[in-house]
Amino acid sequence: MLKVEPIPAFQDNYIWAIHDGRCAAVVDPGEAAPVERFLAQKGLALGAIVITHHHGDHQGGVAELLAAHPRTPSGEAMPVLGPVRERIGGRTQALREGDVVTLAEPALTLRVLDVPGHTAGHIAYVGDLGEAGTAVFCGDTLFASGCGRLFEGTPAQMLASLDKLAALPSDTRVYCAHEYTRSNVRFARAVEPGNAALAAWEDRVAALREAGEPTLPTTIGHERMVNPFLRSREPAVRDAVAAQGGSTDSDAAAFGALRGWKDNFR
């Protein structure tokens, strides 16, 4: 039975640990120290390192983790999974859309999706976690009620990447890499003040954060209802973009205007 647990890092990052009670794969370890503390606390060995994109807050801890854990418990070289189109230090498997990776420790199969936009080579991993359901580890592409900034990609690329994620089964759990939900929801409410599901989610997010709990994972089905960046073709969202003076001439233009609005939203 696989479990997914958050390892908080930096201000608002989550490093996700996927483990079977014995061995853990860690996703986007931007720093090593919190990972080491987590492994020691839970009595887990490290079995794999999984990277979504090249930013330092996602791969900064890889070298230190590799130095401390060069091999898996069964003696294999530590697998380091990462996108083929980006520089990932220590990478052992360079991945692209359609690749399927089967890890031994923990026993886990991950399917790769190309999701460019935040960075040019960003990938996401879809995993079947058995009783824990289907999960997507999407780094800084899709956030709860938001999406990543377009540092290296175009609005059209990011829209296509989010469309791909939105097409996953609705019960797919979304494990993104930052706790940005509260500010994302504040923006989402400005875009869609009449969205009742979003209003209810705002209350739930406030309660979770006041209790010191993560707002993640969310699900693809939930995101389709509350995330303006998965809803940029909805008439209400289009009207809101137009009211801000944004272009709605095409899907990509409307999405780009929505993203630009968020970039300047306080």
CB of 178 to Fe ion, least distance (A): 6
Strand partners, 148: none
Contacts of 136 (CB under 8 A, 6+ apart): 113, 124, 125, 126, 127, 142, 165, 168, 172, 173, 174, 175, 220
54 is a catalytic site residue: no
CB of 181 to Fe ion, least distance (A): 14
Tell me: does residue 36 bind Fe ion (CB under 5 A). no
Interacting partner of 86 out of Fe ion, Zn ion, none (Cβ under 5 to 8 A depending on kind): none
Stretch that binds Fe ion, among 91-99, 138-146, 158-166, 226-234 (CB under 5 A): 138-146
With CB under 5 A as the contact rule, the residue among 31, 36, 57, 192 that binds Fe ion is 57
Residue 30: how many CA atoms within 13 Å on its side-chain side? 21
CB of 14 to Zn ion, least distance (A): 13
With CB under 5 A as the contact rule, the residue among 2, 19, 27, 55 that binds Zn ion is 55
Burial class (CB in 10 A: 0-12, 13-18, 19+), 120: middle
With CB under 5 A as the contact rule, the residue among 36, 105, 114, 140 that binds Zn ion is 140
203 is a catalytic site residue: no
Which is the catalytic residue, given 19, 28, 54, 55? 55
Tell me: does residue 54 bind Zn ion (CB under 5 A). no
53 is a catalytic site residue: yes
Number of residues engaging Zn ion in binding (CB under 5 A): 2
| Alpha helices for the chain (secondary structure H) | 33-42, 56-59, 62-68, 155-166, 181-191, 196-210, 220-226, 235-243, 251-263
| Alpha helices for 92-175 (secondary structure H) | 155-166
CB of 200 to Zn ion, least distance (A): 29
CB of 118 to Zn ion, least distance (A): 6
55 is a catalytic site residue: yes
Q: What are phi and psi of 33, to 5 degrees?
A: -55, -50
Tell me: does residue 259 bind Zn ion (CB under 5 A). no
Token output for 106: 């923990």
**Rounded CA separation 145/7 (Å):** 21
Q: Which is nearer to Zn ion, 36 or 140 (CB)?
A: 140
According to DSSP, residue 77 is labeled B
Q: Which residues bind Fe ion (CB under 5 A)?
A: 57, 140
